[in-house]
Structure 1
Amino acid sequence: MFITSPGLAETDLQAALEEKFGITAEMWPNYDAYDLRIPLPGRRHWAVDVKDRVNPVLLARSLTPFRNEPPYDRAFLVVPRYRFRDNEAYGRQFRRNLPEDLADRVTLLDDRAFLRLVAEEISTPRDKAGDPRTEGGRRA
């Protein structure tokens, strides 16, 4: 089995955003264009697709571009942290197999790293916010 607990990882991330930051993420917008649409200061939005896949190679090879409706400013693929703990090469294997046309369009992060990035984004003035391509604290 390649996929576990459909919907649980998404609802866990939604609950964490609400609890930690008071952010109400829209779930499965526009009939599941992606999993969460996260509103941020400055009328910006991040699109998040949450995947709990054991095999990062199959995940990368099966990934398709996020739909553009509803619109978003950045796209993230979020994987539960334990996948990176179970396979320390998860991010490297994913990147090595990601189609070139998607490499600059989506950022892979574990759920904890994503929540840290949200914290940084809402606490950093917009003109000082960077564009880190990180994964669990490492460059992705």
Structure 2
Amino acid sequence: MITTDAAIILSTSPAPLSAAAIQTYHTNWVRAAERTLQRLQTSIDHIHLRIFAALSSETLDEKEAVIQSFNARVARLLSRVWFVELNDKVAESMNTIGLQIMLLANEWEGLKTEIEERLGPFNGFEGDIEEESDEAEE
């Protein structure tokens, strides 16, 4: 499923735009990239907690390094997004970084599905209901 943020991240800058419109477009792209990476990080953290909750050293040992790798990749991409924003290089970098974000998200979804299948049904963590109700209010 392509989200609005994903569509923004993967889009190319429409031409020709005024300087103000370009700045707005770049700002929207940076915010969409940040939100996408934050959602990805939340998903990774959630699965990591599930692995800990499963108390299965076999599952934990096997996936710990992979999850840490995903965390590091998300952090690097977020740093790149902020770097290009601070150095006004969004136009030159948005296609490359956007594609890398979407590839990482796709790769994570595959691993997440595999882990969830191995962990079995999940009843939720304490506080999940509150988080869902917070999202509903937005």
Tell me if TM exceeds 0.5.
no
Tell me the TM-score normalized by structure 2: 0.29
> Which structure has the bigger radius of gyration?
2
Q: Please give the TM-score of this superposition, normalised by the length of structure 1.
A: 0.28
Higher share in helix: 2
Higher relative contact order (CA 8 A, sep 6+): 2
Per residue, is there more strand in 1 or in 2?
1
